[in-house]
Amino acid sequence: MNTAYLDMMEDSLDNKIEVLNIVIGENEAFHNMLTNEEADVNDRITAYIDKKDSLVKKIDELNNGFTSIFEKVKEELIIDKDKYKSQIERMQDKITEISDLSVTIEAQERRNKVLIDKYFSEKRQNLNNKRKSSGAAYNYYEVMSKSRLNMPQFMDKKN
């Protein structure tokens, strides 16, 4: 087996670590945006989701590439694992690092989900309050326009 396959697998793991670190940075930035009450969150949520989507696609591509290469070299790695011991250990360390990063990302996602749920709940409540206020104002206007109350009129009876 050519060690180029193992080098490609290591590069794939390195790239995945890099992308996962970017995801962690994006999650932190999103968390900071959600906790900063002055931020204009509405416009930035879509940008965050789009960026996150592209990063997830990149991770999927890396996973698929790693898996396809691994399937090609799997048997030889099992048979000659002593020959490739150092590379296997490096890859195992990188896989452990990837697992740790994944756990961090999951924790960030749960934390951000709570904040985004709170944000949307508040926005929904504000919208409901505005609807109620508008409805009350409209009802008041409608009742007042139908009532046609005549204002007291005073007549001067002096002639």
pLDDT tens digits for 108-135?
Answer: 999 999 988 888 888 888 887 777 777 7
Give the residue carrying structure tokens 């048997």. 75
Number of separate domains in the chain: 1
Determine, yes or no, domain membership for 159. Answer: no
SS3 state at 145 = helix
Distances (CA, A) of 17 to 14, 24, 59: 5, 10, 9
Determine, yes or no, domain membership for 157. Answer: no
| Residue range(s) defining the domain that contains residue 106 | 3-145
Residue type, 25: G
- Which residues lie below 8 Å from residue 26, measured CB to CB, with a gap of 6+? 48, 51, 52, 55
Determine, yes or no, domain membership for 140. Answer: yes
Tell me the H-state helices in 1-159. 3-35, 41-79, 85-147
Read off the pTM: 0.70
CB atoms under 10 Å from CB of 66, counted, come to 20
pLDDT tens digits for 20-52?
Answer: 999 999 999 888 888 876 656 777 888 888 899
| Position 144 pLDDT exceeds 80 | no
